[in-house]
Amino acid sequence: MRFAVHIYDGVEPVDLATYGVLSMARRVAPAIAPFTVAPRAGEVRLASGLRVLADHGYADCPDADVVIVTGGPGWMEQVTNAETLAFLRRYGAGRIVAGVCTGGMIVAAAGLLDGRAATTKREVAGAEVPPLDLLRERHPRVEVLEGVSVVDCGAVVTGGGVTLGIDATLHLLARLLGEGVARETARIMEYSRAWQANRDALPVVRR
């Protein structure tokens, strides 16, 4: 089971927790194979200056079962980046596309949420406008849901803000590899109670 984690300049480092969950899950299900993809292979500068290396660029991105689109301040540039949007439309065809945090805004800009329900980041700092409100304003064809952790529409999955990307990734593991794999991954991450508390307070919605 291959997972492409989509990154770009300005991703919030905490959104790489999606990759971290997959790394931990490999101890339970060794067939899991995550990799990163960016507009071009090589160095990607994340928010606050952290630098990471993308395994692949759009031009040489290998096959995967799922592509996870991460979020962070750079989403505002990515929603107008024709290269990124074209890649997601092309690469997402026939695969599961998951947008975590403000990665959902990029998925929406690619048109992949039209006619579907979705969620994204709600909480902000200072005078920032909640991305959840922007999703509602900019994409009237999307049914925007508040107070949920994950929205699963089959071909497209969206997760709420920041650390709920962990929950969205665990949800994908449960759906694709079985609840046992997801639960054991949460256990070895020492995240079981947090995951359950989040699901109790912010339910998963399937459409």
pLDDT in tens, 25-73: 999 999 999 999 999 999 999 999 999 999 999 999 999 999 999 999 9
Mean pLDDT value across the chain: 97
C-alpha separations of 26 from 21, 23, 32, 165 in Å: 9, 5, 6, 18
Q: In the structure, what pLDDT confidence band is assigned to residue 100 with cuts at 50, 70 and 90? A: very high
**Residue 123 burial by CB count (10 A; 0-12/13-18/19+): exposed, middle or buried?**
exposed
pLDDT for the residue numbered 96 = 98
Give the Cα separation of 17 and 193 in Å (integer). Answer: 17
Percentage of residues in the chain having pLDDT higher than 70: 100
Q: CA torsion 174→179→183→184, rounded to 10°?
A: -100
Dihedral over Cα of 2, 8, 183, 198: its sign: negative
Residue type, 148: V
- What local confidence, expressed as pLDDT, does residue 57 receive? 98
Integer Cα distance of 85 and 38 in angstroms: 12
The pLDDT tens digits for 108-156 are 999 999 999 999 999 999 989 999 999 999 999 999 999 999 999 999 9
Mean pLDDT of 91-111: 97
What is the per-residue pLDDT for 156?
Answer: 98
Longest dimension (CA), the chain: 44
| SS3 category, 45 | strand
Tokens linked to 151: 């929205």
* For range 65-92, the mean pLDDT: 98
Main-chain phi, psi angles of 144, to 5 degrees: -90, 125
What residue ranges do the domains of the chain occupy? 2-206
**Residue 187: partners with Cβ closer than 8 Å, 6 or more residues away:** none
**The pLDDT of residue 119:** 98
What is the pLDDT, as a whole number, of residue 157? 98
Give pLDDT, residue 35: 98
Look up residue 61 and give its amino acid.
C
pLDDT of residue 204: 97
Q: How far is CA 58 from the centre of its chain?
A: 17
Query: What is the model's pTM?
Result: 0.97
CATH of 2-206, one of 3.40.50.1100, 3.20.20.70, 3.40.50.300, 3.40.50.880: 3.40.50.880
